[in-house]
Structure 1
């Protein structure tokens, strides 16, 4: 069995388990770095995406304009508590109560 066939066999078997790559490698006494290398190499060679998703999600940040009327409080010890508005006023009140 060639290296390519060896690793393709393990990658196919891992995908069938539904478990983590790390667990599969530990169970079969495989080097995780080599597993990752061959997984990537074979995916590129076959020009296919792996059937197993990465588990990561794409996140997008929405720009929230800061209100020009936001409140800032300077505490006696010099700490500045800023950006207080109607949305976070209850949290700021709790923080001030805690610091009191």
Structure 2
């Protein structure tokens, strides 16, 4: 995490999780460790390439731990780090707001 961060805290948060895929990946990893294939299924219409790019970026930013097992076929697990898990309250707030908005819109 040697990148220079923006001065604005909101911008920092958006830089780390500011796209649809990262938020959905985090949502699924809040439940616990998942394999690549499980994430691909649970996140939805994400391509393998985009999932890989987002996971690498999240790993580089200290949000996700990638564990590779020396097996055939190879097995890779992804888990939120303590820093990644600390964003739980942000995602919980998004869930609460989205639920409220949906209920008003119906």
Structure with more strand by fraction: 2
If the TM-score is normalised by the length of the shorter chain, which range does it land in?
0.3 to 0.5
Structure 2 length-normalised TM = 0.37
User: Which structure would you say has the larger Rg?
Assistant: 1
Greater helix share, 1 or 2? 2
